[in-house]
């Protein structure tokens, strides 16, 4: 491939910046100063840019704990994106494999491997995506069965069967005992208003094999509940590294990468 394409692909700089660096004698190939930004180089060529080695990688894979408030996109003129958080390399071919809503946190794979992303996201490959959610209202076994049967949303979307597990279901006794000192709809010392219905929150895990727009939120809305918090925990064999704080990322291990390629 062309030297300038090699360097720009590895995030060394723009084509214009690279041409200027070549002209200034700041690029070497196999120990010799490069004279032409269009010269042909191979994946195993020893290339340096401004004194730093630039090793060619066809594909890269990052696990990120996506923070709330950042959009799942490669580029946006107004909003901060998950790719903006990757400061290890400024490659221009990175993208998130699947999207999480702006206010959703958790596991996100960022890569430039389109084939792998397709295998992960295509419903026909039946790749499970597991989420933790906090939901307003009391989730019941009727909801569990409705998810398992495959919900039909009000707009006509037919969801694939999903697994809903109740971790903690809100109930009236819990709501009343949560703050017996403050009568219903009266103001507490901290200024908040006590409302039994508002305090009813269930904790659940949901496993789906597709990823339609706002899907989990829409599924719970169809059952008369609102998702208050949502975090993706797993994607196929990939499990969110619990040492990653929101906004942090790391490269996939060889074991993790191999497990994805075996899907």
How much is the pLDDT for 122?
85
d(CA 47, CA 18): 13
d(CA 225, CA 197): 11
Range scoring the smallest mean pLDDT among 87-91, 119-123, 237-241 = 87-91
238 contacts 217 by C-beta, under 8 angstroms = no
How does 40-60 read in b/e, with b if 16+ C-beta sit within 10 Å? ebeeebebbbeeeebeeeeeb
Q: Which residue has the higher pLDDT, 124 or 145?
A: 145
User: Quick one: the chain helix, strand, coil %, rounded to 5?
Assistant: 25, 25, 50
203: which 2 tokens?
Answer: 């904790």
Helix (H, G, I), strand (E, B) or coil at 2: strand
Q: How confident is the model at residue 212 (pLDDT cuts 50, 70, 90)?
A: confident
Instruction: Kindly provide the residue ranges of all beta strands, DSSP E only, lying in the chain, ordered along the sequence.
Output: 27-29, 32-33, 47-49, 52-54, 61-66, 95-96, 105-111, 129-136, 163-168, 201-208, 227-235, 238-239, 249-251
- Closest-CA residue to 96 (of 198, 87, 84): 84
Domain annotation for the chain: domains and CATH numbers: 3-54 (3.10.290.10), 61-124+237-261 (3.30.70.580), 128-235 (3.30.70.1560)
The model carries a pTM of 0.81
How much is the pLDDT for 225?
96
Active site residues: 101
Q: Assess whether pLDDT exceeds 60 at residue 166.
A: yes
Q: Which residue has the higher pLDDT, 32 or 77?
A: 32
Q: Which residue has the higher pLDDT, 220 or 91?
A: 220
Residue 94: Cβ-neighbour burial (10 angstroms; 0-12, 13-18, 19+): buried
Mean pLDDT of 187-192: 44
How much is the pLDDT for 33?
96
256 contacts 241 by C-beta, under 8 angstroms = no
How much is the pLDDT for 199?
60
pLDDT in tens, 133-158: 999 999 999 999 999 999 999 999 99
Q: Assess whether pLDDT exceeds 90 at residue 126.
A: no
pLDDT in tens, 51-83: 999 998 889 999 999 999 999 999 898 999 999
205: which 2 tokens?
Answer: 């895990």
How much is the pLDDT for 63?
98
Q: Assess whether pLDDT exceeds 70 at residue 47.
A: yes
229: which 2 tokens?
Answer: 């918090």
Q: Assess whether pLDDT exceeds 70 at residue 15.
A: yes
pLDDT in tens, 238-259: 999 999 999 999 999 999 999 9
91: which 2 tokens?
Answer: 């490659």
């Amino acid at each position: 491939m062309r030297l300038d394409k090699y360097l720009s692909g590895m995030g060394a700089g723009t084509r214009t910046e690279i041409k200027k660096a070549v002209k200034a004698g700041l690029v070497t190939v196999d120990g010799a100063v490069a004279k032409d930004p269009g010269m042909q180089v191979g994946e195993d060529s020893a290339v340096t840019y401004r004194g730093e080695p630039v090793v060619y990688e066809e594909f890269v894979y990052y696990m990120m704990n996506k923070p709330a408030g950042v959009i799942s996109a490669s580029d946006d003129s107004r909003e901060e994106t998950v790719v903006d958080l990757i400061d290890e390399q400024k490659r221009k071919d990175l993208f998130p494999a699947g999207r999480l809503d702006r206010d959703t946190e958790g596991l996100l794979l960022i890569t430039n491997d389109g084939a792998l992303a397709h295998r992960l996201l295509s419903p026909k490959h039946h790749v499970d995506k597991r989420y933790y959610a906090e939901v307003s209202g009391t989730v019941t076994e009727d909801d569990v069965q409705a998810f398992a049967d495959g919900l039909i949303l009000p707009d006509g979307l037919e969801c694939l069967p999903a697994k809903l597990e109740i971790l903690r279901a809100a109930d009236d006794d819990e709501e009343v005992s949560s703050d017996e000192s403050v009568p219903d709809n009266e103001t507490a010392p901290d200024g908040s208003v006590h409302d039994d219905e508002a305090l009813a929150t269930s904790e659940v895990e949901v496993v789906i094999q597709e990823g339609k727009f706002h899907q989990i939120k829409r599924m719970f809305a169809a059952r008369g509940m609102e998702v208050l918090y949502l975090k993706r925990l797993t994607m196929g064999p990939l499990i969110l590294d619990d040492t990653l704080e929101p906004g942090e990322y790391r490269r996939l291990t060889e074991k993790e990468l191999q497990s994805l390629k075996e899907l």
